[in-house]
Amino acid sequence: MAALRAAVAALALLALCPGPAAAATPLVIWHGMGDSCCNPVSMGFIQKLVEKKIPGIYVLSLRIGSNLIQDMENSFFMNVNEQVSEVCRQLASDPQLQGGYNAMGFSQGGQFLRAVAQRCPAPPMLNLISIGGQHQGRVYGFPRCPGESSHLCDWIRKTLDLGAYTKAVQEHLVQAEYWHDPLKEEDYRKNSIFLADINQERGINETYKKNLMALKKFVMVKFLNDTMVDPPISEWFGFYKSGQAKETIPLQETLLYKEDRLGLQEMDKAGKLVFLGVKGDHLHFSEEWFDSSILPFLQ
């Protein structure tokens, strides 16, 4: 009897002692146009910030290419479908991600990571945070891009104006692959090799729908004073009302939502969609806002 009482006391003591802390969920980051994985004032800063706030977290900031210059160049010129496939290979081969991970995409990295969620369910993406991503496409009019005075931006603008939906431009210019012209909807649906596919514009891929609906949360951040994304409501999955370029409609009024082609209606009703607004221009936010609004989805 004494031995039994001692065993019970030992078990009670163990129950009072805290066990080892659960490991933080890994985070995968994908940068935006003209940026790179490890820029110290952008993605490098974000990575260090997350690592400081969540000790022990594993953060993978995606690099597409063998060096930072290639990574930046590929954000303009590497076929998006090839980029997504490359990222899927990186994630599948990373032993630290096999139990699942959170994903955070900045600007075009937001819609690219959504494609990863839809196409590559292993390892599983748990939460997707899109910060300024253009999920119904961007950039009707292409108002500006990083380095407004650069010849590269001028060339991209002219190329998009002249032939965004031609095969050569679609296959070799990243921004054309999510160019959504509300005055040329049929051309967009027929010829867009990336966005029209992941947005189910040419038919329903049930696997895409199932995989996206597996997310715990899909967080979309819209910059309330955005001068770079046209229309800014694309950051909340809204767009121009078809056939004109003045009136916009929210996600809930689009056919994509009403027909539930991606499962967004069902996700919305289940509380899985989160719409956040932040004052400021494109990708301009404070550390305080990031701490209070984004970190809770990573912990």
Whole-angstrom distance, CA of residue 98 vs CA of residue 104 = 17
Burial class (CB in 10 A: 0-12, 13-18, 19+), 248: middle
Let me know: does 139 contact 230? Beta carbons within 8 Å. yes
Strands 101-106 and 27-30: parallel
Report the SS3 class of residue 59.
strand
Write the CA distances from 258 to 34, 183, 186, 232, 271, integer angstroms.
35, 21, 19, 21, 17
**Where in the sequence numbering do the catalytic residues fall?**
107, 226, 282
Which of the 8 DSSP states describes residue 276?
Answer: E
What is the DSSP code string of 86-110? Answer: HHHHHHHT-GGGTT-EEEEEETHHH
Q: Where are the alpha helices (DSSP H) in the chain?
A: 2-16, 43-53, 68-77, 80-92, 108-119, 151-163, 167-172, 185-191, 195-198, 206-213, 255-258, 264-269, 287-289
The single residue listed with the structure tokens 């955005």 is 226
